[in-house]
Amino acid sequence: NTCAYTCIRTDKTKKKRPIVCEHGHLTASHGSSRFSMGATTVDVSIYGPVEDLENFDSSKIDRAHLCVNVVSINSQKKKKKIKTIKTLNKAGLDTYIEHEVGTAFENIILLQKYPQTTIHIKINVLSTDGSLLSCVLNAVSVALLDSGIDCKTLLSSVCVGYCNQLDYLQNGTESKSQTTEMQDVKDTNTEEAQMLLFDPTERENSILHSLCTIAYSTKLGDKNDMELSYCDIKGKVNMKSLQQLLLYSKSACLTTQFFIKKHFVQSFKALPTIYVSKDLDDA
């Protein structure tokens, strides 16, 4: 139920929203996936490696060039002559995601195996309700597996945020004026009053004072261990909180990676290529 995904959950410190994963549904591409985390849904299609003189990077002739393109649900607004603030912000978000995806997967894909070629990664944001970048990273990982492009390891991502516990308890139950009054308490509360939220929604983002998108990959030589591959932090996080955040994020990414692998195992057994998870316990 899409409506249920946007509700405040009382177990957010241990649970993520349900995940839906599908691959190979776009037959015109070399690899494709559809990944959903709650009400956030992303389509990814991969074309290549192909010879592409238009997007060819002459400074990297010894490796493939990654060309990432994001098409959001509001892309039609960009074609209008009237430019609104919302449209400009959306365009900035698309550019940001394109850059972050390229940064995250430059060290994952074996680009040296495909010199003087271009790998096109096209991302279509169908719907968004928080944790968009994390959903995109997971979708690209699944699409790469479907495409057969050689990669060093498998990447899985999770979005984690910190908020004040009192703000979280009030969110959705108090008025905006009462919530605003609580902002002063956030600065004076002790560190023990901070709450760790996994996979936050758009509504929950409004009460977060820091938001982190973390990605782990399988450690080379040890498939049971994972290493940090990508980290994007917005806001302020002290060192002690960061260590706790990375510890829980590693467990969450391991769960997500297990889900992706299970999805592919099921599909190889000639079962339907859509696999739906229950609420995932990450702690």
Tens-place pLDDT, residues 203-247: 877 777 788 899 998 876 666 678 888 888 888 777 877 888 888
Higher pLDDT, 78 or 95: 95
Q: How far apart are CA 107 and CA 145, in angstroms?
A: 15
Tokens at 29, concatenated: 């591409």
- Report pLDDT for 78: 46
- Could you report the per-residue pLDDT of 24-51, keeping only the tens digit for each? 888 888 888 999 888 889 999 999 888 8
Residue 279 lies in a domain: no
pTM: 0.76
Q: How far apart are CA 56 and CA 255, in angstroms?
A: 37
48 domain-assigned: yes
Q: Please report whether residue 282 resides in a domain.
A: no
Q: Residue 79's domain spans which residues?
A: 12-266
Q: At 134, phi and psi to the nearest 5?
A: -60, -40
- 81 domain-assigned: yes
Residue 1 lies in a domain: no
The per-residue pLDDT for 140 is 94
Q: Please state the domain count of the chain.
A: 1
Please compute, for residue 199, the number of CA atoms within 13 A of its CA located in the half-sphere on the CB side: 31
Whether residue 272 lies inside any domain: the answer is: no
Compute the distance between CA of residue 253 and CA of residue 236 in angstroms, rounded to an integer: 22
The whole-angstrom separation of Cα 224 and Cα 254 is 9
